Chain A
Amino acid sequence: MIKVSQLTKKFGSHVSLDNVNCEFHKNESIALMGANGAGKTTLIRSILGYYHPDQGEVLINGLNPIKDRTKVLQEISFVPQLPPPIKLSLDELIQYVSISAQVDRELILHYANEMKLDINANINKSFFKLSGGMKQKMLIAISLAKKSDIIIYDEPTANLDPKARDDFYRLLKQNEEEKVLLFVTHRLEEVKDLVNRQIYMDLGKIVSDETI
């Protein structure tokens, strides 16, 4: 599903990804780990088509995420580590998602409800004015409602309380079939029941890749 071949990405003289090769297949849940600056976020951003590689390529179902970005991104859900300060209201954000990615609005409301986010009380509030946890719940609800084949979470539970984490893992369990789940995490113990593969990165290279 995702094929990364000889991927190298440099920022000035700093090599962020150094000839990375890996493949991710259906029904794999991967914990992507490593110290700060190991290249995890660069790898994810390359998969999302944000970076032009210095060498190598990324293919998603055989498509290049830069050249065929709309087709590729139709199949990917992404939740960043820190929710960005989007100034749109929740209603406008839902409108943006449902029109651009053909996501059912009711499904977003359903998952928000499952995450115990009272969307109706906040529907006209700017996204950036919500609390950190509420923002994260909203982005998680969107990611699940999108029904993508590939779900990428960059430290998704950083702002969530224990109850919300349980809700999140329960919903993920219900939605993981036939998908690639890619977690960037520093806390393996939190996702160890979910993942079946662990990848460690260091200095832009994959140093360990174990299937459990």
Chain B
Amino acid sequence: MKNLYLIAYLDLKESIRARWFVVYSLVFGGLIALFFIAGVTESQVMGFSGLSRLLLMYIQITIVILPIFILITTVRSISGDRDNHILEYMLSFPISLKQYYWGKIIGRFITVYLPVLFAMVIAVVYGAFKGADIPWNIFFLYTGLLFALSSAFLGIAFFISSFVKSSEVALGIAFFIWIFLLAFIDIALISLMMQQRFNEELIIFISLANPMELFRVAAISLFDPELTVMGPVAFYILDSISQGMFVLLSIGYPLVLGLLFAFLGYKIFEKKDLV
């Protein structure tokens, strides 16, 4: 176990020093700061106000940028190390492949999850300081959703990283997956598909299989019982499944998906030539 923690710890330290981490933290911290400066907490749109409104805006932007941030910063972790011969040297020490791979995942997970969580914590602390009501139910839901979404995309990124030959290809695949999943949320392809009168079960299945769509619907459903800001599929999903069940699904499914992809990535990493 000490080697697993060692790899995680060193990856964490290395990532925190990296420029991408500074940009990543500034983006999410900056978003919150920007919302406060822009007076989002004082505004009222469609019934949302105060910290709830701020968190809603934060999560809507996070849906789009968090996956791509995780994908592009993580997808090169193993393929990049293979490319520039770091793997060749680091794996010449008696560390098992299991410890190396899962240690990297743990280290990288902490790196990508903590800034988005801290940004929310800062919002809550600052909001409380300003005397706003703290929407704890929303805060905890988002903490869980961000955890699950981070897991899903981290797993996908490590899966890609385990089999691609070069980091350029890894980046290309990461962009494709992000665009593809983004296209399959309500606002885009799903609406088109409904207009074309595809089988509704197929549409619901595609929506439920997309962790970004699950995240989006679960994140907004607490706010908007009338579902006016959501698309037709979100409306349909929440009509078919109870809200509590859906929230559980929206946290459990991306977690399992992430673990599954990470595990598949490990199997490939173990079976393939290392360098």
- A-side residues, CB < 8 A to B, are 45, 48-52, 69-74, 76-78, 80, 82-88, 92, 95-97, 99-101, 126, 139
Contacts and interface: CB of A to CB of B under 8 A. Distances in A.
Contact of A50 (B86, B91, B93): B91
A96 B90 contact: yes
Contact of B273 (A52, A76, A97): A52
A51 B273 contact: yes
B3 to A, nearest CB: 6
List the 9 shortest-distance A-B pairs measured between CB atoms, nearest first: A78-B92, A70-B94, A73-B94, A50-B274, A84-B85, A84-B86, A74-B94, A100-B93, A50-B275
A100 B274 contact: no
Contacts of B168: none
B96 A69 contact: yes
B22 interface: no
A74 B6 CA distance: 17
Interface residues of B, number: 26
Nearest to B97: A69
Interface stretch (B9-17, B34-42, B127-135, B186-194): B9-17
Contacts of A51: 273-275
Contacts of A80: 85, 88-89
Contacts of A101: 93-94
Given A73-B93, A96-B93, A100-B3, A88 B85 contact: no
A48 to B, nearest CB: 6
B86 A86 contact: yes
B88 A70 contact: no
A84 B89 contact: yes
A183 to B, nearest CB: 16
Interface string B251-275: 0000000000000000000011111
B84 interface: yes
B92 A82 contact: no
B92 A76 contact: yes
B125 interface: no
Nearest to B272: A52
B90 to A, nearest CB: 7
Given A84-B84, A84-B85, A96-B90, A70 B14 contact: no
A88 B14 contact: yes
A69 B272 CA distance: 15
Interface in B1-38: 2-3, 6, 10, 13-14, 17-18
8 contacts: A45-B275, A51-B273, A52-B271, A80-B89, A86-B86, A87-B17, A95-B6, A100-B93
B133 to A, nearest CB: 44
A100 B6 contact: yes
A73 B99 CA distance: 15
B275 to A, nearest CB: 5
A85 B6 CA distance: 19
Nearest to B17: A87
A153 to B, nearest CB: 12
